[in-house]
Amino acid sequence: MMKSILIVVMIISPIIFLGQNFKNRSTVGEEYAKQAIEKALSDSSGKSFNDTLIKDKETAISIAEPILMNLYGKAPIADEKPYECYLIDGYWFIRGTLPKNNSGSVFEMIMSAKDGRIIKMSHGK
C-alpha cells in the first residue's frame, strides 16, 4: 500500500518540481531522499492509508493528465477534453472524448481511488 503511494508521488513529483528555482532554498539532497524512501518501504509502522486518497474527479484528472500527456503527447490528450470521469466501486474511470460524428480513438485509464495505482491505461490507434 505504501509502495503504491510512493509510486504515485514519484510520478507526480517531477511534474511539481519542474522549473522550480532552489537557489535560495535549503534542500536535503538526493541521498537523503533515497534513504527516506528505503525507510518508508521497510517500515511497517508508518501511517496506513485506509481511506480513499483520490476523492474527487478534479484530483483524479490532475493525476492522470500529466501521465497521459507524457506517454501519448500533450496535443492529442488535450484534444480529447472534456474527459469522462466516473468513480465506480473505488476506481476512477477516465476517458477522452471526441466531437460528435467524429471517428477515432481516445485514451482510457482506470485508477484506484484508494491509492492512485493505475490499473489500466490505453489509447486506441
Measured distance CA(2)–CA(46) in Å, rounded: 8
Residue predicted with more confidence, 28 or 59 = 59
- Other CB atoms within 10 Å distance of the CB of residue 105: 13
Distance between first and last Cα of the chain? 33
What is the average pLDDT across 31-52? 76
Backbone dihedral angles phi then psi of residue 38, each to the nearest 5 degrees = -60, -45
Over residues 7-19, the pLDDT tens digits come to 655 565 555 555 5
8 A C-beta contact, residue 93 and residue 106? no
- pLDDT beyond 70 at 46: no
- pLDDT beyond 80 at 68: yes
Backbone dihedral angles phi then psi of residue 121, each to the nearest 5 degrees = -150, 125
Backbone dihedral angles phi then psi of residue 112, each to the nearest 5 degrees = -70, 125
What is the average pLDDT across 39-61? 81
